A and B are shown apart, each in its own frame.
Chain A
Amino acid sequence: MLNDRLLQQLADIVGADNVSASAVDRITHSFDATQRQCLPDVVVHPGNAEEISRIVRLANAQRIPLLPRGAGSGFTGGSLPVHGGIVLVLTRMNRILEIDVDNLIAVVQPGVVTGRLQKEVERLGLFYPPDPASKDFSTLGGNIAECAGGPRCVKYGVTRDYVLGLEVVTPTGEIIHTGGRTMKNVVGYDLTRLFVGSEGTLGVVTRIILRLLPKPEARKTMLVAFASIDGAAEAVSAVIRGKIIPTTLEFMDGSAIDCVRKAAPLDLPLDCRAALIIEVDGDQAVLDGQVDRILAIIQPLGMLETRVAATSEESEAIWKVRRSVSPSLRNLNPHKFNEDIVVPRSRVPEMIRALEAISNRYGVPIVNFGHAGDGNIHVNVMVDLAEAGMEDKVQSALHDIFRATVDLGGSVSGEHGIGTAKAAYIGMELDPATLAAMRTIKKALDPNNIMNPGKIFLEDQPEPGATAG
């Protein structure tokens, strides 16, 4: 597929230092945060949209797969070169072009790390809310491709809610501009929303216009321990019914608490089988009142203990409990299957019970924690794949988990995307006509299927418009 002539053409576009087909570079761009590895043929570090447009035209003419890549920290294989091809690494395009304090807008390149933008805008008293756990290393381009979420999304929404406009190089090499710099804009189709969450299958985002908010003055964190997951879930519903939307409403189930407790001493009552971390933010003057109201609402619901952080150190100590869940999982078993299902928040207790049943059915530990406030549960099936038949068991367990999720009106992915990891389950959630509509869009924008092929849709499904048999 790749010959010296193509390498030369790529070098002519981006400079020889930014093209490599060496074994080393191919290996270092063969993975993401899934445990799979697929070698690309060549790695390119482009510097701007024009270069990308020229590369895309080359690839399109020669039918070579193109893989846009940011930090390569996705959980579903979005940046894996499953069919080889050219990896387009966007880390050189890492400039914050503009922070407009009058219009509350930031204009950035796709390689800007999310946490860096947050730090810069916060210096100016502004706020970019989406906070995926990977925010200190994942890029805004990647966040847009996957429509990243995070704990703060309960109150503030997800990445798509902050994207006002995009510059995109389409799979045929056109540079297009969606949306703009205003909150209101109804001219033509809302292509911005189409590209957000498209997992790099519809084009390469080269410039991003983001909406900002004023930075909340203060925040207040509390940890509430419950004797059962039902108490915790009822507390979540009661708080929301009480017309309070906390900034974050994180939960850990009994299995997650056990895991943390095994790894290190944990300052929670022994009979605690679920815990909520609730954080509110806003003006200092209203925060204390809000905390009191939340406590009044959940007081009657069988809680064991409440801890309200008085200082930022105490708040940090509470968050440390939550953050210690993930690393502690490995003490359980070496292999982790990490899913990010989401159900309507009132169905969280039912979902947790379904997960317990599945865990018992297959004899595999399942640890659950995550964003109770928006029903987004991080389900971690922990196994040792060296055990005979475990691979099949895991697949069956995952199948049952997704089935239960969809049956409760939920979705198989809240924030990680489909990629390759969940392509097999997309048909559980989307009916054939809806899937066909999506594939028609893909086909229209990417007639030669060069842009991140093999993602979202199962490859053995017929192309739209193809005649069966």
Chain B
Amino acid sequence: MAELKTLEDYRNKIAQCVRCGACQAHCPVYLETGREGSVARGKIVLAAAVLDGEVELDERLREEISLCLLCGSCVVKCPNHTPTDAIVGALRRQITETHGLTPIGKGVAALTGSKSLIKTLLKGADLLSPLLFKKIPETSGLRLRFSPELLRERSLPPIPERNLFARVPELLEGDADKPTVGVFAGCALTYLYPQVGELLARLPHSLGYSVFTPRDQGCCGMPALSSGNGPLIDKLTGANLKAFAGRKIAAILTGCASCHGMLAGHSAEKAGNPFGAELVDIHVFLAQHGLVERLAALPKWQQRVRVTYHDPCHLRSAGVVRQPRDLLRTLPQVEFVEMEDAGLCCGLGGTFTAAHPGLSRSIGDRKLQGLQASGATLIASGCPGCILQLQDIVDRAGLPVRAVHTLELIQQALSESPQ
């Protein structure tokens, strides 16, 4: 496994930034704060100053470096493609090495670092329910990650009784002439939205593929990346590699944009995809395998629901923008409309929402204008993190809109009769 890069490894990349300021137009945090330290250019200059020993890793610096969603918008739009997300990741790891994990980082480590803990806590219980916190000691990192104070203002889905692994077998046997694909579900599609995780496995199976959903897979490591925990990233990556090793698979499918971004190495900038098989977002997979045509052949419903789409940052920066729309547009029960600022970040950003709840909400609220103008009653997306955040945004605004995963609408079209 390739070593995680240090800040020093990025010296040349840091020098690529010509400080033109173009990142200001695309940084969700800067659009809220208007402060130079929030945006990629400011962080790159700080990274250079850290490398040259011109500034301490003091509290003010740690605060500025915490103000990044790792959304990658600046990287895509940068004329020189300076990998600011990866540089911020390296800078956070350096901060963690010298100053230890933040309380939130410790919570992430406790939650995502231990499969047994996450399973125990989730077994039949509502992880995010404030009631649960009564049973957790004051000192636990979990209390800090999902503190009741933070949760009181957030709308959350009820936690289903059965997680993904109780819903699909480890191997779904498909047609003999079709290869096996792997499913990397991630924490959210395993525990929070297992009904979507199930579709991630069942839809490819319905196309004839054998589907392997290894039980030993764990967290993708995005929260660990976000909190600067290098050893935890290594540990999780190692566990996930092991989970998929030993079986010949044609591709690993993801239904969570953040997992895809993390595993594809966009933010980690490790030596590319560590898995033997190609990582493929489920929208891309379904579009490649004729689902658009199959949906188009279905009779249109009389009563169609108006749906718009939110681009998850980690799909947009991977260039996956067309396929989810192609699928949505052909759904027989859907009247698809674009909304303004579909590509604007929802503001969740891994641990960002826990560290900066107010800012996270105001970034998210920027979605409201376009969403309202679109007249949509459903907002589809390809990332459970975005879906969680989007539902919170519309609930706080009192809008009669529901956030759904694109897969749920596809399943509805395939399984329900026209209305």
Report A33-64 CB contacts with B as 1/0, cut-off 8 Å.
Answer: 10101000000010000000000000000000
Residues of A within 8 A of B55 (CB): 23-24, 27
B24 within 8 A of A: yes
Name the CB-closest residue of B to A34: B19
Residue among A28, A94, A137, A330 making CB contact with B80, cutoff 8 Å: A330
Cβ contact within 8 Å between A28 and B64: yes
Cβ contact within 8 Å between A33 and B49: no
In whole Å, how far is A90's beta carbon from the nearest beta carbon of chain B?
9
B21 within 8 A of A: yes
Cβ contact within 8 Å between A113 and B25: yes
Given known A-B contacts A35-B19, A73-B20, A91-B34, A24 and B46 have beta carbons under 8 A apart: yes
B18 within 8 A of A: yes
In whole Å, how far is B22's beta carbon from the nearest beta carbon of chain A?
6
Cβ contact within 8 Å between A138 and B21: yes
Residues of A within 8 A of B18 (CB): 33, 35, 336
B interface bracket (residues with beta carbon within 8 Å of A):
20 to 34
Name the CB-closest residue of B to A93: B34
Cβ contact within 8 Å between A134 and B54: no
| Stretch from B35-43, B150-158, B269-277, B386-394 forming part of the interface with A | B35-43
Cβ contact within 8 Å between A137 and B24: yes
In whole Å, how far is A74's beta carbon from the nearest beta carbon of chain B?
9
Cβ contact within 8 Å between A27 and B45: yes
Cβ contact within 8 Å between B21 and A33: yes
Instruction: Give the distance in Å from the alpha carbon of A327 to the alpha carbon of B80 in the complex.
Output: 7
Residue among B19, B22, B37, B61 making CB contact with A32, cutoff 8 Å: B19
Please provide the chain B residues from 32 to 74 with a CB less than 8 Å away from any CB of chain A in the complex.
34-37, 42, 45-46, 49, 54-56, 58, 60-61, 64
Cβ contact within 8 Å between B25 and A115: yes
Instruction: Give the distance in Å from the alpha carbon of A94 to the alpha carbon of B30 in the complex.
Output: 13
Secondary structure at the A interface, as helix, strand, loop or mixed, is: loop
Name the CB-closest residue of A to B63: A24
Name the CB-closest residue of B to A92: B34
Residues of B within 8 A of A138 (CB): 21
Cβ contact within 8 Å between B64 and A24: yes
Cβ contact within 8 Å between A136 and B36: no
Cβ contact within 8 Å between A71 and B24: yes
Residues of B within 8 A of A111 (CB): 34
Please provide the chain A residues from 58 to 82 with a CB less than 8 Å away from any CB of chain B in the complex.
71-73
Please provide the chain A residues from 95 to 141 with a CB less than 8 Å away from any CB of chain B in the complex.
111, 113, 115, 134, 136-138
Name the CB-closest residue of B to A33: B20
In whole Å, how far is A444's beta carbon from the nearest beta carbon of chain B?
33
Cβ contact within 8 Å between A22 and B60: yes
A420 within 8 A of B: no
Report A294-335 CB contacts with B as 1/0, cut-off 8 Å.
Answer: 000000000000000000000000000000001100100000
Cβ contact within 8 Å between B34 and A31: no
Please provide the chain B residues from 310 to 328 with a CB less than 8 Å away from any CB of chain A in the complex.
none
Residues of B within 8 A of A92 (CB): 34
Cβ contact within 8 Å between B49 and A71: no
Instruction: Give the distance in Å from the alpha carbon of A171 to the alpha carbon of B225 in the complex.
Output: 48
Given known A-B contacts A113-B25, A330-B80, A25 and B37 have beta carbons under 8 A apart: yes
B124 within 8 A of A: no
Residues of A within 8 A of B19 (CB): 31-33, 35
Residues of A within 8 A of B23 (CB): 137
Residue among A27, A71, A336 making CB contact with B21, cutoff 8 Å: A71
Residues of B within 8 A of A33 (CB): 18-21
Cβ contact within 8 Å between A45 and B22: no
Given known A-B contacts A27-B54, A28-B42, A92-B34, A326 and B79 have beta carbons under 8 A apart: yes
Instruction: Give the distance in Å from the alpha carbon of A330 to the alpha carbon of B80 in the complex.
Output: 9
Report A14-28 CB contacts with B as 1/0, cut-off 8 Å.
Answer: 000000101111011
Instruction: Give the distance in Å from the alpha carbon of A37 to the alpha carbon of B42 in the complex.
Output: 12
Instruction: Give the distance in Å from the alpha carbon of A134 to the alpha carbon of B25 in the complex.
Output: 9
A152 within 8 A of B: no
Cβ contact within 8 Å between B35 and A24: no
Please provide the chain B residues from 57 to 105 with a CB less than 8 Å away from any CB of chain A in the complex.
58, 60-61, 64, 79-80
Residues of A within 8 A of B34 (CB): 45, 89, 91-92, 94, 111
Cβ contact within 8 Å between A45 and B35: yes
Cβ contact within 8 Å between B79 and A73: no
In whole Å, how far is A115's beta carbon from the nearest beta carbon of chain B?
7
Instruction: Give the distance in Å from the alpha carbon of A136 to the alpha carbon of B73 in the complex.
Output: 14
Given known A-B contacts A23-B55, A27-B49, A137 and B21 have beta carbons under 8 A apart: yes
Residues of B within 8 A of A327 (CB): 79-80
Instruction: Give the distance in Å from the alpha carbon of A138 to the alpha carbon of B37 in the complex.
Output: 16
Name the CB-closest residue of B to A324: B79
Name the CB-closest residue of B to A113: B25
Residues of B within 8 A of A113 (CB): 25
A30 within 8 A of B: yes
Instruction: Give the distance in Å from the alpha carbon of A137 to the alpha carbon of B31 in the complex.
Output: 10
A20, A45, A73, A115: residue with the most chain B Cβ atoms closer than 10 Å? A73
- Known A24-B61, A113-B25, A134-B20; 19 more pairs at CB < 8 Å: A22-B58, A23-B54, A23-B58, A24-B46, A24-B58, A28-B35, A28-B36, A28-B37, A28-B64, A30-B45, A31-B45, A32-B21, A33-B20, A35-B18, A37-B45, A73-B20, A89-B34, A89-B36, A137-B23
- Which residues of B come within 8 Å of A, CB atoms? 18-25, 34-37, 42, 45-46, 49, 54-56, 58, 60-61, 64, 79-80
Give the top 4 A-B pairs by smallest Cβ distance, nearest first.
A91-B34, A73-B21, A136-B25, A137-B24
- Which residues of A come within 8 Å of B, CB atoms? 20, 22-25, 27-33, 35, 37, 45, 71-73, 89, 91-92, 94, 111, 113, 115, 134, 136-138, 326-327, 330, 336
